[in-house]
Amino acid sequence: MWTKTRSLMLSRVLTVGAAAAALVLMFFIPRFAEWYEEISVGRGVIGGSIAAPLTVTLFFTTLLFLAVLAALHILLSNISRGSVFTDSNTRCLRFISWACMLAGAAFFVFGLWRFIFMAAGAMAVFFGLIMRVLKNVFAAAVELKQDNDYTI
């Protein structure tokens, strides 16, 4: 039967799986960038080769992705221990929000070479914004919980 514990376990397994996949894919980033340069027909403000800037962007965003997965793992560990509305979890969500914003900024910069990547940047920033709102909700919940815990 599907339980809360199993759902949490699945989330943790998926997080670790995503991290492993990202680590493996990192080795293929330079090759992918070269391949993308060959097939890419898009345009941007800056001309010339896109392999180097794409490699840098993908490495940077993959590192951020790994950091976000680590934060998610901490978050899930805390939740499975029963600590949901805590300052530690709020910090995790804040970190995830900023990481998404940074990834968005990186894609915006690469958008100077290929405009299409600005769409990816906008999506990442929007996701970061959602996470920020979630972080604010968590911060309010932490305060409410503390009030409740200290009401005798």
Partner 1 sequence: MAIIVNLDVMMAKRKISLGELAEQVGITQANLSILKTGKAKAVRFSTLEKLCEVLDCQPGDILEYRKEDS
Q: In this complex, which beta carbon is closest to partner 1, that of residue 38 or of residue 147? A: 147
As measured in angstroms, the least distance from the Cβ of 88 to partner 1 is: 21
Of 68, 121, 69, 75, nearest to 96 by C-alpha is 68
Q: In this complex, which beta carbon is closest to partner 1, that of residue 27 or of residue 150? A: 150
Neighbours of 78 (CB within 10 A): 16
Question: Do 17 and 72 meet the contact criterion of CB atoms below 8 Å apart?
Answer: no
Neighbours of 34 (CB within 10 A): 14
Q: What is the phi/psi pair of residue 124, to 5°?
A: -65, -40
Question: Do 97 and 128 meet the contact criterion of CB atoms below 8 Å apart?
Answer: yes
Q: What is the phi/psi pair of residue 75, to 5°?
A: -60, -45
As measured in angstroms, the least distance from the Cβ of 145 to partner 1 is: 11
Report the run of H or E that residue 22 belongs to, with start and end.
Answer: helix 4-26
Q: In this complex, which beta carbon is closest to partner 1, that of residue 3 or of residue 151? A: 151
Q: In this complex, which beta carbon is closest to partner 1, that of residue 133 or of residue 144? A: 144
Binding site for partner 1 (CB under 8 A): 146-147, 150-152
Neighbours of 150 (CB within 10 A): 7
As measured in angstroms, the least distance from the Cβ of 151 to partner 1 is: 4
As measured in angstroms, the least distance from the Cβ of 150 to partner 1 is: 4
As measured in angstroms, the least distance from the Cβ of 147 to partner 1 is: 6
Q: In this complex, which beta carbon is closest to partner 1, that of residue 130 or of residue 144? A: 144
